[in-house]
Structure 1
Amino acid sequence: MDTPSTDFSIATPRLRLRHYRIGDEAQLLEYYGDEEVCRYLLHGPWTESDARENVEIRSARTDLDTGDLNVVATLDGRIIGNVSAHFVNDTDHTVELGWTFSPAYAGRGYATEAVTALIETVFSLDRVHRAIAQMDAENAASARLAERVGMRREGHFIQDWWNKDAWSDTFLYAILRAEVTE
């Protein structure tokens, strides 16, 4: 496995987004181990083993231009969330965004700051024309975040995803390069 560059970071007024590192497991487990945080995700709460496995996988996903970009958002060196981006398919100009944040830091604008920085990073690649985010339609907090960063709801798919023994609806949000760079 390639070791990610330790000097990669995206600075915002209050946060630093950086690659995952071995050793991040305990801080990520603090929120990924929470059943409520995982309520709308495709997996249940993490165990220590899940945290190790996910950090190993995500620490190798360091470059959107060649695959995926997965980074943690830190506040004063403490992980408070994570954001990601990947191309929908290899020949496409659409990037899908994802995010998960610790509820301990909710309501202070940190997620908005981190996702805004991610969107700016994604659109710094000339190839990218459009960014999307998909979420469980019951995840009101995530939908509000998508709207705060300028994304618009383009779709509401009814019972399109089987997850955790039930059908769920999906919201699709999107933003175009021209809407960010105007």
Structure 2
Amino acid sequence: MDMADVGGATTTAPEMIRTDRLVLRTYRPGDHRDLLTFYGRSDVCRYLLNDPWDLAEAREAVQSRICRRDLAAGAVALVVESDGMVVGSVSAWLVEESGCTAETAHTAEVGWAFSPDFGGRGFATEAVTALIDLVFATPRLRRVVAQMDARNESSARLARRIGMRREAHFRQNAWIKNEWTDTVVFSMLRSEWPSVA
């Protein structure tokens, strides 16, 4: 992975991160069209907090994500491309823990969404691995978590595939889309991540 612009003390996302097969880049105007092709699908949004986007919601989401370029300032959001095609999106944000503020947080939460049209090729694994490399480029961060609907088996498999451990299962703790849902939490410590261990 080429992250030459990402030093050990910063988490400002470079304009582009290259992996073996992917480009992770910051959001830009016009991305709403490509993202709508999967965020507009009910099967993709089934276990997400949001319903499928319409065109206006896609524009609004992209506009809010354009400024998410610095994890130290709160969040980073990236579009994932393969051969110039948008295949997904990944993001990370600081989590305020007990006794900590956003400025002193030691934990980041990560999230992702990918187009089923590009499934089965390992793109999600490759992209989320690059995202966690970027997160752990912040020396103070010692822990990464991912929370998801307990029924979202594909996201749970991805979390396990990259080495995260399931640490909690909260039963009917969230009222989402007119039903009580379970939440599972996966985590990883800095000391467990191969590139920094």
Q: TM-score range by the shorter chain?
A: over 0.9
Q: Which runs of 5+ in 1 are unaligned?
A: none
- The equivalent position to 1:46 in structure 2, one of 47, 53, 56, is 53
Match of 1:60 in 2: 67
Are positions 1:70 and 2:83 aligned together? no
What per-residue deviation string (whole Å, max 9, x for no partner) do you get for residues 91-113 of structure 1? 32000000000000111100000
- The equivalent position to 2:29 in structure 1, one of 22, 27, 30, is 22
Displacement after TM superposition at 1:9 (Å): 1.2
What per-residue deviation string (whole Å, max 9, x for no partner) do you get for residues 58-83 of structure 1? 01111111110000101111110000
Displacement after TM superposition at 1:7 (Å): 5.9
- Report the CA distance shift for 1:6/1:134 in structure 2 as closer, same or farther (over 3 A): closer
Give the fraction of aligned pairs with identical amino acids, expressed as a percent: 52
Match of 1:102 in 2: 115
Match of 1:162 in 2: 175
Displacement after TM superposition at 1:154 (Å): 0.2
Match of 2:185 in 1: 172
Distance 2:18 2:176 in 1: 35
Structure 1's consecutive aligned runs of 4 or more residues displaced over 3 angstroms after TM superposition are none
**1:127 alignment partner AA:** R
* Count of equivalent residues: 178
Q: Which runs of 5+ in 2 are unaligned?
A: 1-11, 97-101
- The equivalent position to 2:15 in structure 1, one of 2, 8, 21, is 8
Match of 2:99 in 1: none
State whether residues 13 and 69 of structure 2, in contact with CA within 8 Å, keep that contact through their aligned partners in structure 1.
Answer: no
Match of 2:87 in 1: 80
What per-residue deviation string (whole Å, max 9, x for no partner) do you get for residues 5-37 of structure 1? 996111110001000110111100000000010
Distance 1:137 1:164 in 2: 15
Match of 1:130 in 2: 143
State whether residues 142 and 189 of structure 2, in contact with CA within 8 Å, keep that contact through their aligned partners in structure 1.
Answer: yes
| Alignment RMSD | 1.3
Displacement after TM superposition at 1:168 (Å): 0.3
State whether residues 13 and 70 of structure 2, in contact with CA within 8 Å, keep that contact through their aligned partners in structure 1.
Answer: no
Deviates more, 1:168-177 or 1:83-92: 83-92
SS at structure 2 position matched to 1:138 = coil
